[in-house]
Chains A and B, each alone.
Chain A
Amino acid sequence: MKIAIHDNAGSFSDRWIAYCLQNKIDFKKVNCYDSDIISILDDCDGLMWNWNQIDYKAALFARQLTKSLEKKGIKVFPDTNTSWHFDDKVGQKYLLEAIGAPLVKTYVFYTAKEALDWVKGTSFPKVFKLRGGAGSINVSLIKTQKKARQIIKKAFNEGFRPVNRTSDLKDRFRVFRRGKDLKSVKKIIGGFARLFFPTEFERFSHKQKGYIYFQDFIPNNNYDTRLVVIRNRCFGCRRYCRKNDFRASGSGLCKFEPELFDKDSIQSAFEIAEKLETQSVAFDFVMLEKTPKIVEISYCFPMEGASDCCVGYWDRDLNWYDSALNLQYFMIEDFINDLNRK
Chain B
Amino acid sequence: MKIAIHDSPGSFSDRWIAYCQENKIDFKKINCYDTDIMSQVDDVDGLMWNWNQEDYKAALFARQLTKSLEKKGIKVFPDTNTSWHFDDKVGQKYLLEAIRAPLVKSYVFYTAKEALDWVERTTFPKVFKLRGGAGSINVMLVKTKKKARHLIKKAFKEGFLPVNRISTLKDRFWKLERDKNLDAVKGIIKGFARFFIPKEIERFSPNQKGYIYFQDFIEGNNFDTRLIVIGDRCIAVRRYCRRDDFRASGSGIKEYDPKLFDKRNIKVAFETAKKLRSKSVAFDFIWQDNEPKIVEMSYTFIMGSFYDDCPGFWDSNLIWHNTPVNPQYFIAEDFIRELNENIAS
Known: A57-B110, A64-B90. A94 touches B57 (CB 8 A): no
Tell me if A294 is interfacial: C-beta within 8 Å of chain B. no
- Contact: B35 with A107, CB < 8 Å? yes
Q: How far is the CB of A189 from chain B (nearest CB, A)?
A: 27
- Contact: A39 with B97, CB < 8 Å? yes
Tell me if A111 is interfacial: C-beta within 8 Å of chain B. yes
Q: How far is the CB of A294 from chain B (nearest CB, A)?
A: 14
In chain A, positions 76-114 with a C-beta closer than 8 Å to chain B are 84-85, 88, 90-91, 94-95, 97-99, 107-111, 114
Q: Which residues of A contact B15 (CB under 8 A)?
A: none
| 4 tightest A-B CB contacts, nearest first | A206-B206, A91-B64, A64-B91, A68-B94
Q: How far is the CB of B305 from chain A (nearest CB, A)?
A: 32
Minimal Cβ-Cβ distance residue in A for B74: A98
- Contact: B211 with A90, CB < 8 Å? no
Partner of A110, one of B39, B60, B84, B114: B60
Interface string of A258-279 (1 = CB under 8 A from B): 0000000000000000011000
Known: A35-B118, A91-B68, A98-B38. A68 touches B91 (CB 8 A): yes
Q: Which residues of A contact B37 (CB under 8 A)?
A: 94
Tell me if A9 is interfacial: C-beta within 8 Å of chain B. no
Partner of B57, one of A35, A110, A204: A110
5 cross-chain CB contacts under 8 A: A57-B110, A57-B211, A85-B64, A94-B61, A95-B71
Tell me if A33 is interfacial: C-beta within 8 Å of chain B. yes
In Å, the complex CA distance between A276 and B65 comes to 15
Q: Which residues of B contact A90 (CB under 8 A)?
A: 60-61, 64
Using CB atoms and an 8 Å cutoff, list the residues of chain A in contact with chain B.
33, 35, 37-39, 56-57, 60-61, 64-65, 67-69, 71-72, 84-85, 88, 90-91, 94-95, 97-99, 107-111, 114, 118, 204, 206-207, 209-211, 275-276
- Contact: B98 with A69, CB < 8 Å? yes
Tell me if B209 is interfacial: C-beta within 8 Å of chain A. yes
In chain B, positions 36-53 with a C-beta closer than 8 Å to chain A are 37-39
Known: A90-B64, A110-B60. A99 touches B72 (CB 8 A): yes
Minimal Cβ-Cβ distance residue in B for A58: B110
Tell me if B95 is interfacial: C-beta within 8 Å of chain A. yes
In Å, the complex CA distance between A209 and B65 comes to 18
Tell me if B109 is interfacial: C-beta within 8 Å of chain A. yes
